[in-house]
Amino acid sequence: MSIDYDKLRREYRQVSLQETDMHADPIIEFESWFKQAVDFELELPNAMVLATVDELGKPAARYVLLKSFDDRGFVFYSHSVSAKGQQMAENPAAALVFYWSPLHRQVRVEGKVEALSAAEADEYFASRPYGSRIAVWVADQSSTVDSRGFMEERIKLLEGQYPDTVPRPETWIGYRVVPDSIEFWQGRENRLHDRILYETENGENWLMKRLAP
């Protein structure tokens, strides 16, 4: 089947973004947008692209799930020995992108990365379903494994080893992206999109500006 990629277009007909309607605090504005995405019953509204760069400047991106956010930043969990964990150790900066297609909206976040405390990681790990806790013990994330069968056998062994309580591996930790910029993007007609950018220095005094589409 031949696909004409140039014709894969959709006209955006949504509300406009006006600076006067935006909250002075971008975290509060994000909370409002996120709630609308949830209320719209989007599948996985907390899915976000995480972009990282290693010490040589090579970029990488993948989807992860947002687990919480507040005025300190955006939190997710992963293995510190994974490819992304090593990249964030080498270069503690990251970018996040949320894209809510039915709403024609995206949010871009850029900032530094910091590790959560062990107590915070323990608390969240304990809240995960049993199977998810077991799975993190199968092998180091991003490491090479022989086969799917190897992983399934490891699961059986781990279930016997940890029938009830599953400890958190020391390498399974929480990360927080502390934003220094947050952009709200709203698709508009004729590609004249609305883009409102918040920037800050040292986490204080957010400044708002409009960007050309």
Fold of 11-122+172-211: Pnp Oxidase; Chain A (2.30.110)
Q: Is pTM, for the whole model, over 0.85?
A: yes
> What is the tens place of the pLDDT at every residue in 149-202?
989 999 999 999 999 999 999 999 999 999 999 999 999 888 889 999 999 977
20 DSSP assignment: G
User: Of residues 188 and 66, which shows the higher confidence score?
Assistant: 66
Return the structure tokens found at 183.
């952009």
Q: State how far the Cα of 152 lies from the Cα of 105, in Å rounded to an integer.
A: 39
- Catalytic site positions: 191
Angstrom distances, CA of residue 200 to CA of 111, 179, 206: 10, 8, 5
The four Cα atoms 43, 113, 115, 154 give a dihedral, to 10 degrees, of 50
Beta strands in 101-193 (DSSP E): 105-115, 172-186
72 DSSP assignment: T
Q: State how far the Cα of 84 lies from the Cα of 95, in Å rounded to an integer.
A: 12
Residues forming a β-bridge with 98:
107
By residue count, the chain amounts to 213
Least confident of 26-35, 73-82, 111-120, 183-192: 183-192
pLDDT of 5: 44
* Percentage of residues in the chain having pLDDT higher than 70: 93
Domain locations in the chain as residue ranges = 11-122+172-211
pLDDT of 143: 79
pLDDT of 170: 95
Q: State how far the Cα of 88 lies from the Cα of 101, in Å rounded to an integer.
A: 28
pLDDT of 14: 62
pLDDT of 117: 97
Q: State how far the Cα of 86 lies from the Cα of 142, in Å rounded to an integer.
A: 10
Q: What is the mean pLDDT of the chain?
A: 91
Q: Is 197 exposed, middle or buried (0-12, 13-18, 19+ CB in 10 A)?
A: middle
Q: Is 143 left (phi over 0), alpha (psi -120 to 50) or beta?
A: beta
- Decide: 29 and 69 in contact? Cβ < 8 Å: no
Least confident of 23-37, 80-94, 140-154, 184-198: 140-154
Indicate if the pLDDT at residue 43 is higher than 60: yes
Q: State how far the Cα of 195 lies from the Cα of 179, in Å rounded to an integer.
A: 17
pLDDT of 201: 76
Q: Quick one: CA dihedral 99, 5, 187, 210, positive or negative?
A: positive
